[in-house]
Every structure is written in structure tokens, then in C-alpha cells.
Amino acid sequence: MNDFTLNAEVRSDLGKGASRRLRRLASLVPAVVYGGEKAPESISMLAKEVAKLLENEAAYSHVIELTVGGVKQNVIIKALQRHPAKGHVMHADFVRVVAGQKLTAIVPVHFVGEAAPIKKGGEISHVVAEIEVSCLPKDLPEFIEVDLANAEVGSIIHLSDITAPKGVEFVALAHGNDLAVANVHAPRVAPEEAAE
């Protein structure tokens, strides 16, 4: 079982300059914890701990045990701000998880069964890499599986074609948006033309 834990300290030094100093001098990542019944809390975490946690894709859609000054609380990642060139995390937003209260989270998509449509001469385009879901914390899936084994050439797989895990609702569908998730199309260039 993966260990989704992070340690943090309360941060009293706020503002852009303070955040820059934290990152540069102490190798810390500034963050804010929102939600629940408590006021937002400014914290800082070791950059290497954050990087290690995010090596596992499941961390993005998993309840994380965050210890702030000895007090444990369950959170999920709401947003990450990354350095445009280097890609490391510069700031994080977490949302407190309250048992029995629904949460929304972004969950990665895993495509399976891609060989079948390719054998039929199709090419697959992934339209989305993640889906926003709404569920209770205990029902939060690590990923959403999209099976393309029965997809025909020329077909588009929509959100409504995917079976959501028990207790999980797709936010876009709830708002009436049936998003395209993937499509199977004929190759752009016919094999004979390519040979010439």
C-alpha cells in the first residue's frame, strides 16, 4: 500500500517575496490548505518531499495525510503551480477532506484495449488525460479506466460511454456536457499513397 503522507509547517511570513525566499533559501514549497470548517492555513513543505509524493501518479487523486505542526488532517491536491521551464512545484493548494462530505477531484484516465482498433486500421487520439469527478472521500478512484477494445474506426468515445465507479459522478455530465474522451479515426494518409 502506498503511503500518501506529507509533513508541513505553519507559515507566518506571507506574500510573493516571502514565497520566493522560501523556495530559494530553504528549498520549501509554499502552500495553502482550504475547506472544511476551518480558516485557510498557510503552510510550507520540503520541496523534495513534495517531488517524491508526486512521483506516484495516484497522489493526484488520493487522500493525503498532511501533518501540520503535529496535527494530522486529510487533504486532496486542488491545484499545483509549476515552474514553466524546470517543472518543479512552486506552490500548492490543498482542500481538506471531510468524511461524509462530497468532494471534487481531478482523476487521471487510463486507456486500455487500444490494440483492437489499431488492428482494424484505426488510429487513436486521446482527447483528455484526466476527468473531474465528484464523490465521497472513501469512493475516490485512483484513475478512470476507458476500454477501447470494442471501439470502431470512425467512432468517438464520450464521457457517457464510460461506466463510472460506484459512488462516483462525472462533473461535466452533471452539468450537461458530454465531453469526448477519445476517438478512433482512419489514418490521415492511406498506406498506398505513403508508399509512393
Q: What is the pLDDT along the chain (196 residues), one digit of tens a residue?
A: 457 889 998 876 666 666 666 666 667 888 999 887 788 898 989 888 988 998 888 888 888 999 998 889 999 888 888 888 888 888 899 999 888 888 888 888 999 988 887 788 888 899 999 999 999 888 888 899 999 888 888 889 999 999 999 999 999 988 999 999 999 888 876 555 444 5
Give the pLDDT score at 189.
66
Question: What is 5-98's CATH number, 1.10.10.10, 2.160.10.10, 3.40.47.10, 2.40.240.10?
Answer: 2.40.240.10
CB 103 within 8 A of CB 61: no
**Domain 105-185 adopts which CATH fold?**
RNA Polymerase Alpha Subunit; Chain A, domain 2 (2.170.120)
Task: Could you list the beta-strand ranges (E) of 11-102.
Answer: 28-34, 41-46, 64-68, 71-82, 89-96
CA distance 182 to 167: 24
* Structure confidence at residue 194 (pLDDT): 46
- Quote the cell numbers at residue 61: 487523486
Please, which contacts does 169-178 make with residues 24 or more away whose CB atoms are closer than 8 Å?
169/133, 169/134, 169/135, 170/131, 170/132, 170/133, 170/134, 171/104, 171/132, 171/133, 171/134, 172/131, 172/132, 174/134
pLDDT of residue 78: 86
Q: Distance between CA 184 and CA 148 in Å, rounded?
A: 9
Domains of the chain by residue range: 5-98, 105-185
- Which residues make beta-bridge pairs with 32? 42, 93
Structure confidence at residue 25 (pLDDT): 64
